[in-house]
Amino acid sequence: MPAPHESTSPTPGLGIRQVVITLPEEIDMTNASQVHDALAGALDDGTAVLIADAARTMYCDSATITMLLRAHNRAAAAGAQLRIAASPAIRRVLELTGADRMLHVYPTVAAALAAPPPPDGRALSQSETASPAQ
């Protein structure tokens, strides 16, 4: 399975570092830690908004959900925000597990990039965000 791929861009006019990590088509216990390491590495580099591009991801298991929740918690602890651009298949898994209530889920990378940045480069709490999955 291909490794995650990273692209970086500042938010126009705001100087906020946004990173998009493209996730593999399948994520399971054999590569979830590699995906987590890629997400964690981006957060260690001072990223304010980290977008996990799972738009082409068609399969994930419970290890993936655990990994995404760990990455979300790590982002929040670093004052950043993890956003998931999820394919319909991944969105469904997130909904069935209830993880969509904790994660910031968007239908596309463009929607995740267009969402308002965290105030002062810090992560938004769930109570400060509208439901991006709508």
Question: What pLDDT score was predicted for residue 124?
Answer: 41
Alpha helices in the chain (DSSP H): 32-44, 62-77, 88-97, 109-114
Question: What pLDDT score was predicted for residue 93?
Answer: 96
> What architecture (CATH level 2) is domain 5-125?
2-Layer Sandwich (3.30)
Beta strand 17-22 with 5-10 is: antiparallel
Q: Is the pLDDT of residue 125 over 80?
A: no
Residue pLDDT, tens place only, 31-85: 999 999 999 999 988 899 999 999 999 999 999 999 999 999 999 999 999 999 9
Total-model pTM: 0.79
Domain spans of the chain, in order of start: 5-125
Q: Is the pLDDT of residue 2 over 80?
A: no
In sequence order, which residues have a C-beta less than 8 Å from that of residue 39 and are 6 or more positions away? 4, 21, 50, 52, 67, 71, 74, 82
